Amino acid sequence: MSALSERPENPSVGVAVPHESAKLHVTGAALYTDDLIHRTKDVLHAHPVQVPYAHARVTALDVTPALRVPGVVRVLTAADVPGVNDAGVKHDEPLFPDEVMFFGHAVCWVLADTFEAARLGADAVEVGVEPLPSHVTLREAIAAESFQGATPQILRGDVEAGLADAVHVFSGEFEFAGQEHFYLETHCSLAHVDEAGQIFVQSSTQHPTETQEIVAHVLGRPSHEVTVQCLRMGGGFGGKEMQPHGFAAVAALGATLTGRPVRVRLTRTQDLTMSGKRHGFHVDWRVGFDDAGRLQALDATLTADGGWSLDLSEPVLARALCHTDNAYWLPHARLTGRIARTHKTSSTAFRGFGGPQGMLVIEDILGRCAPLLGIDPAELRRRNFYQAGQSTPYGQPVRHPERLHRLWEQVLDSGAIPARQREIDAFNAGHPYTKRGLAVTPVKFGISFNLTAFNQAGALVHVYKDGSVLINHGGTEMGQGLHTKMLQVAATTLGLPLERVRLAPTRTDKVPNTSATAASSGADLNGGAVKHACEQIRERLAQVAATMLGVNAADVRIADGIARGIGADAGVVWNDLVRAAYFQRVQLFAAGFYRTEGLHWDSSVMQGSPFKYFAYGVAAAEVEVDGFTGAYRTRRVDIVHDVGDSLSPLIDIGQIEGGFVQGAGWLTLEDLRWDTGDGAARGRLSTQAASTYKLPSFSEMPEVFNVTLLTDAAEEGVVYGSKAVGEPPLMLAFCVREALRQAAAAFGPAGVSIELASPATPEAVFWAIERARAGAGDSTVAEADVAPPQPGAGSHAMRPESEQVGQAVSRA
């Protein structure tokens, strides 16, 4: 084990401690950005002027009526921007636009003494527009060839030859929905200006450095005049990786122009109608299998619904393409990506960052093709798992594929899957109106930012004269438990009990040039940096202790707050050691830095080894579906997930449970709808409140929910042998969707491919059942253009059931 991965004896990491703010969260004492306004004098409240057109040119803007509203102090418009009028990094997101690009786009902001006055002021602003044609749906944009950004492609082998050699060739189409983040805390920023004109922005942001940079460029100031602090977020889920910047810039601009603190906090409906969501995708695919059901070739074109601007769509698309293989070996692959421009909010990062979308493609293909191949879907999946020595279509060797097999066996075993499958078959045979389904699906998710440069982090650790320790790092806390893990890492490295270490809020003037807390890499990167800082202090203290104890510095160990020579009883307690070090003028603070080694990625050819390692997991779900309504419930879920050697087991289990439920929400409940008609509301988000957007709640939790961490899984080359956990578990939820597909199929004859919409809402499941009952199956899986070598093979969708069964039998 490397020094980075190795754990000392009796470490603080690996102990099941509660989230560092758990008590504050549940008692309501935890401070979020907006709570600060009650502690701040003379705050101005900002309200957007949202224009109700999907696409329009702004022809006139009259703010004077707003200024007559009592309490209104100022209206911010493009003319006020001293720097660059842009809220993004691609320079395609004007902060104060003269073209409305989606229904509800804000063209200016009203500042007032109260939120109500600001709202009335915003109502009074007169905006003249000339409506323009719009593309609201992804299909409309594709038909109009409305695209933006790069069109990357991953190529391996010869797809046409692979398809020509395949025994079974299928093709199809799949369109699936995005997802609203629905973090409990909506977007929020509070900006101050001090006596020297320095800007201090408190923001609910996953990316304080980029928020700082955008505020600076909007104001036309250098970065050192802007400080961004994030206390904590009430959830981010990727929605606060890029989207907070513009709101922070509005607050900062208002504060510089009025000299008063300015608060921007979106109401829930503003947040839903103005901020970006997960990308929905459209996919065209062709796939070839050999006679044993092994994947031979995949040709797929993935079109992401980017919304009105690029935002993070290019890296999201790259991650989607890098995850279309999921856990499966694809000898020949051609994976093409495009980003459509639609007149909707700009799609952005969301837990998994395109990975879930790429993986959903192959899971959907396997789920749809299994009946046509006459192979049990779970067996089809297992048969295609990566084996040792194989690499991904983008050329990265797949390390530890045996973990997939180990996880799979463990879920089959602990979930008693074979026995329960027999019970389900018996249940289904005896229940014409209710059917059950049981599915098992794997996850392989690459950890690191694709863009190599982002894989760096910093930390600052202070030991005060009284022996207390204060740490700062570049990562933000959004509920995922990063701060808890960083406290455990610091305590472990310094050899102190956990309670001796305190953590201060994330600020750009403490740790500069940070990456977003994203890509699940927060603990890997910042943990490396915290450890590095603590090691420097520990080395210096070891020298001091060596002299005091009369031993060699290399033989000093600090554990439980006592420094001792190896094997010796006598020791120096931490506080005495620190005091002695201070009087010897030994530096008691240190900056730490970490960069992930061994990564390379060439985005121009989409080849390389962009990921430090893969996180693995396997999940099984059992569902029960009502044949009259399509309503369903999740009876049981069994998960075994690989977090390496866990830094904090309670946190990790929470992340797995939460990620799974959020994934199940995306795939089965959460249904974003826009008005796609030609009327005045064209482009309006219809689901703009919790009353119309169904989130998972207690009633949708699996009735039995078993989550286990893989054991003996220490990961070499990562802080204390751990693995990232934030995003991968979301994709464990594929098993719920596949179980629903199988339950729907059970209403009809065997061997029929079942198409299931995503989200698989009860309504969607109902229609899948109807198709199954009619034996009609899947309308899109059909014989591909490529003629397979065996005559007749590949047109299984059209074949009678008897032949399907015969085919399965002949292979057994």
Which residues make up the interface to ligand MTE (CB under 6 A)?
Answer: 235-238, 351, 478-480, 482, 517-523, 655, 658, 724, 726-727
C-beta of 240 vs 282, nearer to ligand MTE: 240
Residue ranges in 712-731 that form contacts with ligand MOS under rule CB under 6 A = 727
In the complex, minimum distance from the CB of residue 229 to ligand MOS, in angstroms, rounded to a whole number:
19
Which residues are registered as beta bridge partners of 190?
202, 263
Least distance (Å) between residue 19 CB and ligand MOS? 18
Nearer to ligand MTE, 448 or 480 (CB): 480
Please name which of 330, 231, 320, 336 lies closest in space to residue 278, comparing C-alpha atoms.
Answer: 320
Q: Which of 103, 353, 614, 616 binds ligand MOS (CB under 6 A)?
A: 353
Which pair of structure tokens corresponds to residue 764? 């969607």
Nearest Cα neighbor of 654 from 465, 478, 454, 400 is 478
| Distance separating alpha carbons of residues 369 and 380, to the nearest angstrom | 9
Enter the tokens of residue 376: 């049990």
Residue 350 interacts with ligand MOS (CB under 6 A)? yes
Nearest to 592 by CA among 537, 669, 644, 667: 537
Query: Which of 238, 367, 481, 658 forms a contact with ligand MOS (CB under 6 A)?
Result: 238
Please check whether residue 399 is in contact with residue 598, taking contact to mean a CB–CB distance below 8 angstroms: no
Least Å from the CB of residue 334 to ligand MOS: 27
Tell me how far apart the alpha carbons of residues 467 and 169 are, in angstroms, rounded to a whole number: 68
Q: Number of residues in contact with ligand MOS, rule: CB under 6 A?
A: 10
| Closest CB 408 distance from ligand MTE, rounded Å | 25
Contact call for residue 349 and ligand MOS (CB under 6 A)? yes
List all residues 6 or more positions away from 425 whose beta carbon is below 8 Å from its beta carbon: none
- Which listed option, ligand MOS, ligand MTE, none, makes contact with residue 523 (CB within 5 to 8 Å by class)? ligand MTE
* Residue 249 site contact among ligand MTE, ligand MOS, none (CB < 5 to 8 Å, cut-off depends on kind): none
Cβ 141 to ligand MOS, closest distance in Å? 23
Q: Tell whether residue 449 is a contact of ligand MOS (CB under 6 A).
A: no
d(CA 634, CA 588): 54
Question: Of residues 557-576, which lie at the interface with ligand MOS (CB under 6 A)?
Answer: none
> Would you give the distance in Å from CA 655 to the centre of its chain?
12
Coil, helix or strand at residue 35: helix
Interface with ligand MOS, residue 655, by CB under 6 A: no
Q: Considering beta carbons, is residue 274 or 647 the nearer one to ligand MTE? A: 647
Which residue numbers are catalytic? 727
Stretch that binds ligand MOS, among 346-354, 609-617, 707-715, 728-736 (CB under 6 A): 346-354
Q: Which does 480 bind (CB under 5 to 8 A by kind): ligand MOS, ligand MTE, none?
A: ligand MTE
Between 171 and 520, CB nearer to ligand MTE: 520
Look up residue 603 and give its two tokens.
Answer: 């985005």
Nearer to ligand MTE among residue 354 and residue 759 (C-beta)? 354
Residue (243 or 273) nearer to ligand MOS, CB: 243
Of 5-13, 58-66, 348-356, 529-537, the segment contacting ligand MOS by CB under 6 A is 348-356
Distance in angstroms (rounded) separating the CA atoms of residues 531 and 792: 62
Does residue 663 contact residue 729 with C-beta atoms inside 8 Å?
yes
| C-alpha–C-alpha distance, residues 66 and 76, integer Å | 11
Minimum separation from the CB atom of position 519 to ligand MTE (A): 6
In the bound state with ligand MOS, the residue whose beta carbon lies nearer, of 72 and 188, is 188
Residue 693 has which token pair?
Answer: 């957007």
Distance CA 559, CA 11 (A): 8
Question: Residues 196-235 vs ligand MOS: string with x where CB under 6 A?
Answer: ----------x-----------------------------
In three-state secondary structure terms, 742 is: helix
Residues 622, 627, 628, 629: what is their CA dihedral angle, to the nearest 10 degrees? 40
Give me the numbers of helices (H) and strands (E) for the chain, helices first please: 20, 30
Q: Which of residues 490-519 bind ligand MOS (CB under 6 A)?
A: 518-519
Least distance from C-beta 450 to ligand MTE, angstroms?
13
CB 756 within 8 A of CB 737: yes
Q: How far is the CB of 307 from ligand MTE (least distance, A)?
A: 18
Which C-beta is closer to ligand MTE: that of 480 or that of 607? 480
Closer CB to ligand MTE, residue 478 or residue 672?
478
Q: Residue 310 binds which entry of ligand MTE, ligand MOS, none, with Cβ cut-offs from 5 to 8 Å by kind?
A: none
Q: Enumerate the β-bridge partners of residue 340.
A: 147, 305
Residue 351 CB, shortest distance to ligand MOS, in Å, is: 5
Look at residue 457 and give its three-state secondary structure.
strand
For residues 253 and 80, is the Cβ–Cβ distance under 8 A? yes
652 binds ligand MOS (CB under 6 A): no
Draw the binding track, 294-333, toward ligand MOS (x: CB under 6 A; -: no contact).
----------------------------------------
**Least distance (Å) between residue 403 CB and ligand MOS:** 22
255-260: which pairs have CB atoms within 8 A and are 24 or more residues apart? 255/191, 255/192, 255/193, 255/199, 256/193, 256/197, 256/199, 256/219, 257/74, 257/76, 257/80, 258/44, 258/73, 258/74, 258/111, 259/193, 260/42, 260/43, 260/44, 260/73
Tell me which residue has its CB nearest to ligand MOS.
Answer: 238
Please identify, using beta-carbon distances, which residue of 49 and 724 lies nearer to ligand MOS. Answer: 724
The candidate with the shortest Cα–Cα distance to 308, out of 271, 331, 339, is 339
Burial (Cβ within 10 Å: 0-12, 13-18, ≥19) of residue 536 = middle
Show the tokens assigned to 6: 């190795």
Which stretches of the chain bind ligand MOS, using CB under 6 A? 206, 238, 241, 349-351, 353, 518-519, 727
